[in-house]
Structure 1
């Protein structure tokens, strides 16, 4: 059984990975062009990260109920938390989210424990 929330989370993981790539250029350009005032674009990127955390937390819950492997949800959660705590972790978050999206699209059945 495939869950639509897992497919949506996979798409969101790809979207978040693209946003984290863009964040480097946006934040650096804004830092060069600003007079030291706070940045509203950084708030947008952090919001993307924390929405991803909530989404992947729900994916883990739904996957557990449907007996689907939790790997994609856990990796998505880790990737978004990495960026959510600090934008300096954008590259590791990007890599983890790409791998997470692959597992979220696969949706393998969970292995039964003996």
Structure 2
């Protein structure tokens, strides 16, 4: 059985205080992606299991990050519309099953 907190929607702002994300359940209940490429741990949001609202600008072109094994990963980055700080990314140009939130770029709105 889920706890009442796990069913609530949590809202987050960018470091500049601009609202950028609402997600249910709150990020404290979502899995994490290890900080392998960027050095930043990401929160995994499965779009088929979570409610997600993103208010940001998504890059039209990917940022390619090279793994230690030589393969590349394409990130389609979401940026704050006010200050341009990256706060989330997808790994596909369209219809990505997951969105990854950069927790270090977000502040919870009370």
Structure in which a larger fraction of residues adopt helix: 1
The answer, yes or no, to whether TM exceeds 0.5 is no
The alignment's TM-score, normalised by the length of structure 2, stands at 0.29
The alignment's TM-score, normalised by the length of structure 1, stands at 0.28
Structure in which a larger fraction of residues adopt strand: 2
